[in-house]
Amino acid sequence: MAGCSSGKRSYVSEAIAVEALIEAHVQFDYGNRSGPIAVYPCDECGQFHLTSTGSINKKLEQFIADGTLQKLRTASKWSGKWR
């Protein structure tokens, strides 16, 4: 399937999109209220995209609140995965 006219990266399922959302926050320190915060189903391509508007994804919110995101970030720095 060709890309979507939204120009955004498409994810075949919500679970995969959420995974990418978390991964993005591990890779980049977006700080407060910036970067993608949720995923949504696209009417046009039928797949999922990330969005920086709307309400925050529950899993991302939880990962931030319970420190999981910080742990993943530290782990990825140590592994050098993103360098």
Which residues would be at the binding site for Zn ion (CB under 5 A)?
4, 6, 42, 44-45
Of 11 and 63, nearer to Zn ion (C-beta) is 11
CA distance 70 to 52: 20
Task: State in angstroms the smallest separation of the CB of 39 from Zn ion.
Answer: 12
Q: Give the nearest distance from C-beta 19 to Zn ion in angstroms.
A: 18
Q: In whole angstroms, what is the distance from residue 68 CA to residue 44 CA? A: 33
Give me the count of residues in the chain.
Answer: 83
* For Zn ion, the closer CB: 7 or 31: 7
In the structure encoding, which two tokens stand for residue 22, read together? 């978390």
Instruction: Name the minimum Å distance from CB 44 to Zn ion.
Output: 5
Structure tokens at 69: 């995101």
Classified as helix, coil or strand, 4 is coil
Residue number with CB closer to Zn ion (10 or 57): 10
